[in-house]
Amino acid sequence: MPRVMTRGVVFIHSTPIALCPHIAWGLEGVLDTRVSLDWVPQPASPGSMRTEFSWTGEAGTGALLASAMRGWDGLRYEVVEEASRGSDGMRWTHIPGLGIHQARLSANGDVVVNEDRLRSIVETHAHDAAALTAEIDRAMGAQWDSELEVFRHAGEGAPPTWLHKVG
């Protein structure tokens, strides 16, 4: 069966300096290639670092990259995987204290909530507009986006690094 290839981006929005080499090692384990990341200070969180890089690999690599970094204290990140033949685009975001959020993405980058999830939310919260709104926001990852916004803007202009999965 032919491999389905895709590409994506990993944004490390902020991390303690001590985690920088561990992040590189974790990504190397997934990508099966040496990783060299250009770390720069994160102005939104003095004393922390940020980086971003693009990758190519088989469909599903984004989930493996997100999992490789899950649970590390003080790490804020996003992993985006573009849609490929048979797979939707995906985004994983991680915030300390909130954990990880996974979302499907449309071709233009909008979060897509599937119809069964929407039906369940409406059935459960139809009587309470505030709870309905809160649950839809949760399904779309609004709190994660809100928490990351200051870190995204602080990192504008950083040069990306391209990584390719070997084998």
Q: What is the largest CA-CA distance in the chain?
A: 54
* Bridging pattern class, strands 111-112 and 76-81: unpaired
Q: Of 166, 130, 158, whose CA–CA distance to 51 is shortest?
A: 158
d(CA 100, CA 56): 22
**Per-residue model confidence (pLDDT) at position 158:** 52
The radius of gyration of the chain's CA atoms, rounded to the nearest angstrom, is: 17
Q: Of 8, 1, 2, 3, whose CA–CA distance to 61 is shortest?
A: 8
Can you name the residues that pair with 87 across neighbouring β-strands? 84
Per-residue pLDDT reduced to its tens digit, 56-112: 999 999 999 999 998 888 999 999 999 888 888 999 999 999 999 999 998 888 899
pTM of the model: 0.85
**Per-residue model confidence (pLDDT) at position 107:** 81
Per-residue pLDDT reduced to its tens digit, 107-161: 888 899 999 999 999 999 999 999 999 999 999 999 999 898 888 876 555 544 4
10 Å Cβ neighbour count for 21?
11
d(CA 6, CA 59): 6
Q: Hey, is 150 helix, strand or coil?
A: helix
Per-residue pLDDT reduced to its tens digit, 3-40: 889 999 999 999 999 999 999 999 999 999 998 899 99
d(CA 32, CA 26): 10
Q: Is the pLDDT of residue 42 over 90?
A: yes
Q: Is the pLDDT of residue 162 over 70?
A: no
8 Å CB contact between 100 and 94: yes
* Residue 128: Cβ-neighbour burial (10 angstroms; 0-12, 13-18, 19+): exposed
1 pLDDT band, cuts 50/70/90, is low
Q: Hey, is 47 helix, strand or coil?
A: coil
**Per-residue model confidence (pLDDT) at position 88:** 87
**Per-residue model confidence (pLDDT) at position 108:** 83
